[in-house]
Amino acid sequence: MDFTHLDEKGNAIMVDVSGKEPTHRRAVAIGRISMSERCFSAVKEGGVQKGDVLSVARVAGIMATKRTAELIPLCHVLNLTKCAVEFAFDEGTREIEAQCTVCCDGKTGVEMEALTGATIALLTIYDMCKALDKRMIISQVHLLEKQGGKSGDFTFGG
């Protein structure tokens, strides 16, 4: 398989999507952040001094999806039609999972936007909680699924 972001000389390029027809695109990315029991409880119970951690992280994740092309050099600017960031608590592992779903009707996929949204949501949790726990670990950030486009649908583990 050829790398689409390289020309015949090996130079980095932005992929030319001018000949493609717009289609509905959807991507979901997830990641996790593990933390101490004290920090986990504070986030869950709304006891973090900086404020409502998950509300701020949700907005940060959404904002990040809209700025992906500014952060990742060869990404196209996309007109997103939907972005949602959701969180789930895992009591057994003291982890919070962030899931970012992004949609657009366009000529290229939204995988990078979903991955960026999930990552920035997790980084925001870290930032807001670092006074309680500097040993938090962000892990397992990956594309869960994507729909649409020339390469077809994808499901992680499927």
Q: Go through 98-119 and write b for each residue having 16 or more CB atoms within 10 A of its CB, e for each that does not.
A: bbbbbbbebbbbbbbbbbbbbb
Please, what is the Cα angle at 64 between 126 and 129, to 5 degrees? 10
Which is the catalytic residue, given 16, 127, 133, 153?
Answer: 127
- Cβ neighbors of 20 (< 8 A, separation 6 or more) are 107, 108, 150
- Cβ neighbors of 91 (< 8 A, separation 6 or more) are none
- Is 2 noted as a catalytic residue in this protein? no
Q: Any idea which residues carry the catalytic annotation?
A: 127
